[in-house]
Amino acid sequence: MIFTRFLVKWDGGVIFASPSVIHSFPIALLMPTVARSFMPPITGPRVSCPLLFMVFALLLLSAASAQRLVSLQSDIGRCITLCSGCQRTATPDLNTAMLHGDANTPYSTLEMAQLPNGNVTFKCIADNMYLAACSGCIVGGEKPDFLTFHVADPRDAPWAQFRVDRLRNGKFTIQCVHNGKYISRCEGCSPGASYNQQVTAHLSDPNEGPYAQWEILDVAPARVPGNISPAQTWSMKNGAAYDIAVGAEGSVWIVGINEAPGGYGIYTWAGNNWVNIDGGAVHIAVDSRGVPWVVNSEGVIYRREGNAWKQLEGAATDIGAGADGSVWIVGTNPVGGGYGICKWTGAGWQSIDGGAVRIAVDNRGEPWVINDAGSIAKREGMRWRQLSGVAQDIGIGADGSVWVVGPNAVLGGFGIYKRLGADWRAVDGGATNIAVGPNGLPWIINNGFSIFERLRF
């Protein structure tokens, strides 16, 4: 993109820059927060000069691959939400866009990004498919183009690319690139739909009514674990998850975000994608043989045996496994510090003293726990030793490395720390859940449900 004239204006914390201030919003929208925070307000009339061109052009180019997690809120307060099987006249059977969800759910959370051509895309984190106009896909629909989530790669699909402009009332219009129409709320436009409010692309003038004007809500920090260094210390994986575990032999398992009986879907990492297996869970651990153990939404405990799940006695709220083969749980019986702590004996669960809400197991089979006050303790023989620091999740690798998610809010969730001697060393990034591989490096989930692997310490 070549600019022949460069106009800059500071407007409510966002810099607009291009020959057309209003129509440049997609680039400004994606500008990293850290870049904007160093820019002084520009007041008075718009200005134009070579120096501003050079500075802001560099900033805009650096922002070209930035991403935001957003929800698109309509004039009635409901957000564009992926809905599976909700348009009974859809052909082929598609995940369609409805207006029935609130912001910040997996099905209404969209990864907003900008392509090199300047157009904007919206990817639903629940299924990693892109929002797109689908012509003639709703049989009997009042409008020709309905919005669906059916495009896997938007780069060569102009119907999955949009122009986002800011109106003077502060709201946004979203224009389909392929036909120039604006997306809007359409009430009762699809026969047999599960919800009365659909999303179509049929308006030529977004000022026709508020139904073609949208709020873009930030529902989580950008889809990165934190302020990534130039050396790229994190590698983002596809998919989304609520919980994660890594076995001593290196296998990685997650609890996804798709609803399933017993909680959410269960997946294992196959090197470049996640493979779904049957069952549902809310917490997961992986033993020394790479076998997953899960706790479902009812607190029921299962262990994978061959191609089936075997239910075990007892109930739990969290589970951890060590490289030595030992498995521990946080139970469901309230005690001081959280819930009771038990170890698997091979035939049942043996209770020990203490209470916790989160648990991990080291390579010697000793549990490390976090209690309901965030205090960290490790088992040493017959007693607990309280450690310094506060945490909300903990993971331990087969090599003995211990990592925690701390209490301090950062971009992506909360601070990440590695135990070095008697201290905790902070690293870049933010997370909500953590597990540690046999190489001593963590895998994390951030507050946008995104999954990352640490590449180096």
At 52 the pLDDT is: 44
CA atoms within 13 A on the CB side of 119: 18
Torsion of CA 56, 58, 62, 63, to 10 degrees: 20
Sheet of strand 349-356: strand arrangement = 318-321, 327-335, 338-344, 349-356
Q: Give the span between the Cα atoms of 182 and 389, in whole angstroms.
A: 52
Buried b (16+ CB within 10 A) or exposed e, 115-132: beebbbbbbbbbbebbbb
Residue 405 CA: distances (Å) to CA of 252, 358, 386, 395, 413: 19, 11, 17, 9, 9
Give 60-114 pLDDT, tens digit per residue: 333 334 567 889 999 999 999 988 878 777 776 678 899 987 887 778 889 998 8
Sequence length of the chain is 457
At 302 the pLDDT is: 98
- Say if residue 40 is exposed, middle or buried (CB neighbours under 10 Å; 0-12, 13-18, 19+): exposed
Long-range CB pairs of 100-105 (<8 Å, 24+ gap) are: 100/195, 100/197, 102/71, 102/78, 103/71, 103/73, 103/79, 103/217, 103/219, 104/71, 104/217, 104/219, 104/220, 105/81
The tens-digit pLDDT sequence of the chain (457 residues) is 222 322 322 233 332 233 322 333 333 333 333 233 223 333 333 434 444 444 444 443 333 345 678 899 999 999 999 888 787 777 766 788 999 878 877 788 899 988 888 899 999 988 889 999 998 888 888 888 999 999 999 999 999 999 998 887 878 999 999 999 999 999 989 877 888 899 999 899 988 889 999 999 887 544 444 444 334 688 888 888 999 999 999 999 999 988 899 999 999 999 989 999 999 999 999 999 999 999 999 999 999 999 999 999 999 999 999 999 999 999 999 999 999 999 999 999 999 999 999 999 999 999 999 999 999 999 999 999 999 999 999 999 999 999 999 998 887 888 999 999 999 999 988 999 999 999 999 999 988 788 999 998 8
Within 10 angstroms of residue 48's Cβ, the number of other Cβ atoms is 12
Please tell me the pTM assigned to this model: 0.57
At 323 the pLDDT is: 97
* Residue 296, amino acid: N
Instruction: Read off φ and ψ for residue 295, nearest 5 degrees.
Output: -120, 130
β-strand partners of 377:
369, 386
Q: What is the CA radius of gyration of the chain?
A: 25
Q: Which residues contact 156 (CB under 8 A, 6 or more apart)?
A: none
At 86 the pLDDT is: 81
Q: Domains in the chain, ordered, with CATH? A: 8-62 (no CATH), 67-220 (2.80.10.50), 234-454 (2.120.10.30)
At 51 the pLDDT is: 44
Give 379-415 pLDDT, tens digit per residue: 999 999 999 999 999 999 999 999 999 998 887 888 9
Residue 399 CA: distances (Å) to CA of 125, 323, 405, 446: 33, 8, 19, 24
List the structure tokens of 12. 């409510």
At 69 the pLDDT is: 85
Give the residue from 7, 39, 404, 428 showing the smallest Cα distance to 226: 428
